[in-house]
Amino acid sequence: MKNTALTTTHQALGAKIVPFAGYNMPVQYEGVNIEHETVRQAVGVFDVSHMGEFLIEGEHALDLIQKVSSNDASKLTIGKAQYSCLPNDDGGIVDDLIIYKIKEETYLLVVNASNIEKDWNWIQSKNDVGATMRDLSEDYSLLAIQGPKAIEAMQSLTSQDLSAIKFYNFVVGDFAGIEHIIISATGYTGSGGFEIYCKNDEVKQIWDNVLEAGANYGIKPIGLAARDTLRLEMGYCLYGNDIDDTTSPIEAGLGWITKFTKEFTNSKALEAEKQRGSERKLIAFQLDERGIPRHGYDIVDNNGNKIGVVTSGTMSPSLNKGIGLGYVPTIFAAIDSKINIQIRKNAVPATVVKLPFYKH
Amino acid sequence: MNIPSELKYTKDHEWVKIEGDVATIGITDFAQSELGDIVYVEVETVDETLDAEEIFGTVEAVKTVSDLFLPLSGEIIEFNESLEDEPEKVNGDPYGDGWMIKVKCSDLSQADALMSADDYKALIGA
């Protein structure tokens, strides 16, 4: 297992450390519910340095990115970021990612930790255009500072006007006394805030400054368990659960990042799927009764026949209800459709709902 | 770690308090702290008679689902229904308000096989 540059810091804070995607990561500090609440109401900081970072450079950088990604990266201007995915040749997804346009002919790709090697090999295999690729994953750290008070709490750490950075935009500037830091108005919680990319030897100083600057705003360190409940309340897909090598972006509800304004890997087949409609869809559901849906539980119809499977599920800390995502045949996918989740011996009734589960 | 000396314990991290032929059962302080925030306790075996080691319910934390094993054979006569709305009592007061079930024991001699507080302490390395 690898450590992030902050693993010992997390241990000193009393975090429970678990192996995740090849890294020793803090899963919780004080408790998942209080951490979840902190991000929804105030501000929290996550060490998500396990995430992978690739730099794609050169005259043909955009050509390569356009080829491998589903969203249209030609729309990016310097200072903008874009959520996207890497379709495979068989209708599935290699990974989902964020693409940053750092400067002309230079793009930063941020990928899931569990997929770093797979993504690198995949993109490399498509690089017949001569783009330069660099894997920065081992050298860079990533902190997510999330919550409605993030802007106010962090403003003292930078000369940049944080309130002026729009969602999915970023600046490169000073932060916590260090120059050339990427301050990105992105995140995986739905509560606003920033993601901060820096070098490993800079992250301790930034972490300490962030906790100090946030102290008056009730900042707490937040673990991966709350990261999961926060993202699931928003209905954000988690690679390996809700999307994987066998799920298409269309059925996963990622049509909005699948742009047929250009050609990309498997775009013909995906466009055909979009036109004829997917046979199954990723739905969001809420239990009508008590219970907690979990990854892998069956979704059944009223006669007990299996119609699908839960891909993510939890007890929503904000709603205090069982919520989840899962794939069902399209005929069961309409909002307000009634389905059932098989929880041990019981088929617990559930209703298909609109995302997000939680609204501020 | 709180391990009351007057209780008996199991390797599955449950505690047992025997009064007459009725045993009150819950999970230990160690178990609740390992599980983290408990969000659901499901016991659907009230009025059933089960053998020792059978599953009588489930405790769910945010990230985990754990089966609950009956330490002593008998009839489940009561479930602490207040846990339906306040499962967090198991975290806050595992040996008190967070108790889970009461069992009318069919063979009290099974209690001899339960662990003492000192044995349990040794098991968890406390």
Domain residues of chain A, as ranges? 2-51+139-233, 52-135, 238-353
- Give A192's contacts (C-beta < 8 A, 6+ positions apart): A146, A147, A148, A150, A151, A185
B39:A27 CB<8 A = no
Q: Is A295 within 8 Å of chain B by CB?
A: no
pTM score: 0.93
Report how far residue A64's alpha carbon sits from residue A132's, in angstroms, rounded to the nearest whole number. Answer: 10
Please compute the mean of the pLDDT values over residues B47-58 and round it to a whole number: 96
* pLDDT tens digits, A219-256: 999 999 999 999 999 999 999 999 999 999 999 999 99
Q: How confident is the model at residue B126 (pLDDT cuts 50, 70, 90)?
A: confident
Report how far residue A69's alpha carbon sits from residue A97's, in angstroms, rounded to the nearest whole number. Answer: 9
- How many angstroms from the chain centroid is the CA of residue A258? 17
Closest chain A residue by Cα to residue B55: A344
Q: What is the pLDDT of residue A282?
A: 98
Report how far residue A237's alpha carbon sits from residue A267's, in angstroms, rounded to the nearest whole number. Answer: 21
A228:B60 CB<8 A = no
* The pairing of beta strand A16-20 with beta strand A23-28: antiparallel
* pLDDT tens digits, A57-97: 999 999 999 999 999 999 999 999 999 999 999 999 999 99
Q: What is the pLDDT of residue B1?
A: 86
Mind telling me how many Å the CA of A308 is from chain B's nearest CA?
21
**Chain A residues closer than 8 Å to B62 by CB:** 32-33, 225, 229, 314-315, 317
Asked if pLDDT for residue A322 goes beyond 90, the answer is yes
What is the Cβ-side half-sphere exposure of residue A173, based on CA atoms within 13 angstroms? 14
Mind telling me how many Å the CA of B4 is from chain A's nearest CA?
24
Q: What is the pLDDT of residue A204?
A: 98
Closest chain B residue by Cα to residue A344: B58
Phi and psi at B3, nearest 5°, equal -135, 85
Q: What is the pLDDT of residue A289?
A: 95
Q: What is the pLDDT of residue A360?
A: 78
| Residue A56 in tokens | 């794609």
ipTM of the modeled complex: 0.82
**Chain B residues closer than 8 Å to A290 by CB:** 40, 42, 84
Report how far residue B94's alpha carbon sits from residue B114's, in angstroms, rounded to the nearest whole number. Answer: 18
* The pairing of beta strand A2-3 with beta strand A23-28: parallel
Fold of domain A238-353: Elongation Factor Tu (Ef-tu); domain 3 (2.40.30)
| Residue A103 in tokens | 């400067």
Fold of domain A2-51+139-233: Gyrase A; domain 2 (3.30.1360)
Asked if pLDDT for residue B16 goes beyond 90, the answer is yes
Q: What is the pLDDT of residue B63?
A: 83
Q: Is A241 within 8 Å of chain B by CB?
A: no
Please compute the mean of the pLDDT values over residues A186-215 and round it to a whole number: 98
Q: Is A291 within 8 Å of chain B by CB?
A: yes
CATH architecture, range A52-135: 2-Layer Sandwich (3.30)
A315:B62 CB<8 A = yes
**DSSP code for A354:** P
